[in-house]
Structures are given as structure tokens and as C-alpha cells.
Amino acid sequence: MRRFLQRALEKIEKMDRSQIRKLVSDIAAENELLEMVMESMNDGVLVTDRADKILMVNKSAERMLPFTTDEPIERSLEEAIGDEEIRQFLTENLRGLDRVLDREFTLGNGYSRILSLSIMPLVRQGWITGNVIHIEDVTEKRAREARLRRAESLAALTTLTAGVAHEIKNPLGSIGIHLELMKKEMSGKEQMDFLFTVRPMNAELSYDDLNRVVQELLEFMRFELAEAGITLETEFMKPSPQILMDERYMKQAVLNLLKNAISAMPEGGMLKVHTEQKGNEVVLKIGDTGVGIPEENMDKIFEPYFTTKDFGSGLGLTLVYKIVKEHLGDIEINSKVGEGTTINLSFPIPQKEKRLIGFSEEAK
């Protein structure tokens, strides 16, 4: 197309009106095609000139990037980008000559998104005339990877346990000695947690009210929260749809999360416990204003035996993950160091069976 335009421009003085009209029509059609392609892309594309002024931005980029204005075209990136971390990244790297690929940023309060940004020089006839910024939403991709790692960790732990059980079962003559050693080496609670983590759960699911379960736990822990200097903020949905749950296991999972929140606020703080309905799911949110979780640890927190506590077993969140999955639920964690952590547990609301009204004489 560029060669065609160059040849056309060289001959434009010799063209009549119909030829010029045809040329303009061809250019308009080409631009329309380019615009259609840009707007149809799931990934975001943003083009800047050498002065970092925005020349082009597609709808996906407008949807994903936190712009400060509805009209970012012709504005500088420093003025148009609302997120400080992304703005600093772009400012530091746009003037370089090398590509910067797949730099990830976490955005959002509550529901977080993970964006992957890449910067590529915009080259024309051997000269750099600006930059192309590619934006990809990798939130679901990272979530799938994390779920796969957790499943692999649990499977590996189960396999390890089966092997250990096989090895210690053979020397029956020394089993009493082994049991005594295990009692001395492992605390009672940690041993129970370990066995509970690897063996199949015998969950007895029945319709129950998640609000009631959580409120009972909070009432039970009210004194502990007050002693730790923690202020409790609650908001429970009304009415509360019932879900299928095993009260024992659900209380164990929520209790572990509440204990973690208290541990994360050694100097006191705010504990927020909310429930809400989103579509066909009930969501329990537990948020604290504690120390937060470093980004490098986010992918490890559900792994067995991973802990940052001096005396932690590293099985608490593994148990929570297993219990949530047994209830066909999902778990999401958002955290920033120095600001706190929010954990969202979501559980499906059972859909009542739809029945057709039968024909009867009374219905005539």
C-alpha cells in the first residue's frame, strides 16, 4: 500500500478529479480496514510518537489501561496513564532502542487484573519514529497456572504419603517404635493437619446459611480480636441464599483465614468480613490491613509446607484450598505489601430443579 501511495503522490498533479476521488476512496477503505482490525483485537494496542504522545489506541487498550481521560489521543503518556507503576515503567523504557517484553502489573481493588505489557520500537525506513505498546490481560492464564500448580502439589503430597505409608507398614515388628518417634517429632495438631490434607474428605453436604456459620465464628473470636487491637467491620447480604456445605469443614476453612488475618496484624488493624451474591455465586470476603504478601510468594502460598511464620506448619492455606474445592468453590487472593490482604471465597448457589406443570382436569 505504501508503494502504491508513493507512486500515486508522484502523479497526483496529472490526475483528474475522478482519479483523485478514486485515490482518496482507496485510502479511506484501507484506513477503515486497519481500524476494523484494531478494534476487533482482544489484546490492546497503543501507538506513540517519539515525544511519547499517543497517536492510536484501540478499544481493548482503552478498556484495560487506567486512562485519566476518555480521549487519550494526542495526549502524552505521562498525562494520560492513571496508574503510577505503569506510567513509570513506560516513561523509563520508551526512549530505549530495545524491546521490553511481557512486564506484568497487577491492577484493581477487590477484583484484580494482571496485565502484561510489551514495548516495541515503531520503525519507518530504518528510523525509529515512536513505539508500539502491546497489552494483554493474563489474569485467567495466571489463575489457571496457579490452580494447576496447587493440584500438582496436592497430588505430589498424596503420592509421597502413600509411599511413606507403604514403607512404614512393612516392618510391623518396629511399628510401635515408629509411633513413639512420630509422637515426639510431630505435634498433635500438625500431624492431624497433615493427615487431613492428604486423605480424601468425607464431606456431608447439606443446605445451610454461610452467614450464620461466619457470624458464629466471629462471635467466638470477638474477645481475641479485641485483645489484638483489631477492629471488626462486617456486612452480610440479606437475604442470604443457602448453599451446599459441610459446616465442620467450612468453619475450619474460615477459622484458618481469620487466624491468618490476625497474625498479619501484630500491631492491630481492621478486619473486614463481607458476604455478597454475584450472579449464581455467594462470595465471602475476608480482608485485613496487615503486612501483606510479597509478590514473589503469591504463587507459593497454597503449596504444602510453605510458610513465613517461625512456628507455622505450612498446611493452613493448603487445607483451606482443599475444603473450598470440595465445596465446588474457588479462592482468590489479592495482596499488597504494607497495605493488607483480601481473600475471596466463592461458592455456587444450587439451582432449583425446573419442573413442567402437569396437565390435570383442575387446570382446564
Q: Which element (helix H / strand E) includes 26?
A: helix 17-40
| pLDDT score of 33 | 76
| pLDDT score of 201 | 63
Are 119 and 100 spatial neighbours (Cβ–Cβ below 8 Å)? yes
Contact residues for 53 (Cβ-Cβ < 8 A; gap 6+): 74, 75, 76, 77
Length of the chain: 364
Domains of the chain in sequence order: 2-135 (3.30.450.20), 202-348 (3.30.565.10)
Pick left, alpha or beta for residue 108 (phi over 0 → left; psi -120 to 50 → alpha; otherwise beta): left
pTM exceeds 0.75, yes or no: no
Written as nine digits, the cell of 317 is 492455606
Written as nine digits, the cell of 79 is 498525562
Whole-angstrom Cα distance, residue 216 to residue 243? 17
CA 36 to the chain's CA centroid: 31
Parallel, antiparallel or unpaired: strands 269-278 and 230-235: parallel
pLDDT in single tens digits along all 364 residues of the chain: 556 666 666 677 777 778 778 777 777 777 777 778 778 788 999 999 988 899 989 999 998 898 998 888 889 888 999 888 898 898 888 876 678 888 889 887 555 788 999 998 888 777 888 899 999 998 888 888 877 777 776 666 665 565 555 445 444 444 554 455 555 555 444 444 644 554 556 778 899 999 999 999 999 889 999 999 999 999 999 888 999 999 988 998 999 899 999 999 999 999 999 999 998 999 999 999 999 988 888 777 776 655 655 444 556 788 888 889 889 999 999 989 999 999 999 999 987 644 444 444 444 4
